[in-house]
Structure 1
């Protein structure tokens, strides 16, 4: 796991969300515990593309970090 991904994981663990750039494209990784218009209880991590608002859902932070490290190897900034 490279240093940027480690920083991303540590920030997400401490703040429950983190924003970062992948190929100069903004993303956010955030913990979501309540969702929907009827306050449906959820316990997931969302990876959100901040330009299109598309999301990918993960059951655990570790699953999200593994996916990011395998699919987003050009992280330039952790915000």
Structure 2
């Protein structure tokens, strides 16, 4: 699992986003600097559930990866 977390973190850092599966459920971790209808500026990392589109915001990539490590036990594929 630690190797998959390193791949997630490195890919997100290099491309500003990465998708992965947790227990066959798709998620995306992405950096959001500008978004929304009014171009809301943010410097956060979002973890998005690709089925429900619910998101969690994290101020740093490291905090996001730590949350994944603590809350997702079945990370299988990094897409």
TM-score, normalised relative to structure 2: 0.95
Residue in structure 1 matched with residue 49 of structure 2 by the alignment: 49
> Bigger CA drift: 61-70 or 34-43?
34-43
Structure 1 runs of 4+ with >4 Å offset: none
* 2:49 maps to 1:72: no
Q: Structure 1: give runs of 5+ residues left out of the alignment.
A: none
Q: How many residues align?
A: 79
What RMSD in Å do the two structures reach over aligned CA positions?
1.0
Residues 4-62 of structure 1 show CA distances to partners (whole Å, capped at 9, x for unaligned) of: 11110010011000000000000000000012321121101000000000000000001
Q: Which residue of 1 aligns with 2:24?
A: 24
Unpaired segments ≥5 residues, structure 2: none
TM-score, reference length from structure 1:
0.95
